[in-house]
Amino acid sequence: MAIVCNPTLCPNPGPPTLPTAQCGNQLRNSSIMRLIAVHCGYNLTGLLSVNSSVVLSVISNLWNNGALDNPNTRAFVTPKLKGAGFTNEDPTELILDNCGAVKNIKGASTLELTSTAAWDLPGIFGTLGPDIIQYGEQIFWEHLQDENVGYNWLAIQCDGVIRPILDCATGAIATLNPYISMQTVEANDCLKYDEWKIKLTAKCGAKLGQPITTINDPSFPTLNEWK
């Protein structure tokens, strides 16, 4: 009989060391607060394998200094978002042998979030009429939708932690095209408002990777603006 792994050398599958006794429980809020989108031409996965601070340096520089007329040189940070985490679709059970061993294969993972934030941008200063006010949120979301390129995605959590969104098939930072739509929501008889939905789908599964840093990192003051 073949021995798959020497028990003395196998990784311990047991639980990690329990935390020391303390008064009260530690709480964590890892819900996604914002998303970061960077043009897929930047090899963030390669940079991440070298040094996570290099990734933050690239993103911070793109966000601050990217050319307005060249979206390929820019990083985009979304408004604050709401919604659940990833939902997994169509998992497959792969039978490995006749003795009943199976492996669960992930199907598509979908991240669907919404934004209700609205802001105005200065428009064209006409000489025959008032200044035109442009809908900033419409310009922002339609640009991400219409650019029709894959973006590398990272998530900023409510606790300030920044984590890459990884493609389960490759282990690299996921390159995904967003699907974005707008709908008008009727809260009650007195209030209607626009809601933008952003949907990211990885056909072979996606998950949040290990934390890179937090937006409180003093080495990158730009990140404080993303709180």
* Position 93 in a domain: yes
Instruction: Give how many domains the chain has, as a whole number.
Output: 1
* Position 110 in a domain: yes
Please answer whether residues 196 and 141 qualify as being in contact, where contact means their C-beta atoms are separated by less than 8 angstroms: yes
* Position 18 in a domain: no
Q: What is d(CA 64, CA 222) in angstroms, rounded to the nearest whole number?
A: 8
Would you give the end-to-end CA distance of the chain in angstroms? Answer: 57
* Position 156 in a domain: yes
Tokens representing residue 174 in the block: 């996921």
Q: What is d(CA 227, CA 157) in angstroms, rounded to the nearest whole number?
A: 10
* Position 39 in a domain: yes
pLDDT tens track of the chain, all 227 residues? 444 555 555 555 566 666 666 666 777 888 999 999 988 878 788 777 767 778 888 888 888 877 666 666 778 899 999 997 888 887 778 888 888 788 877 788 899 999 999 988 776 655 555 566 778 898 889 888 887 678 899 999 999 999 999 998 888 999 888 999 999 999 888 999 999 999 999 888 899 998 888 888 888 888 888 88
Query: Which residue range(s) make up the domain with 174?
Result: 32-226
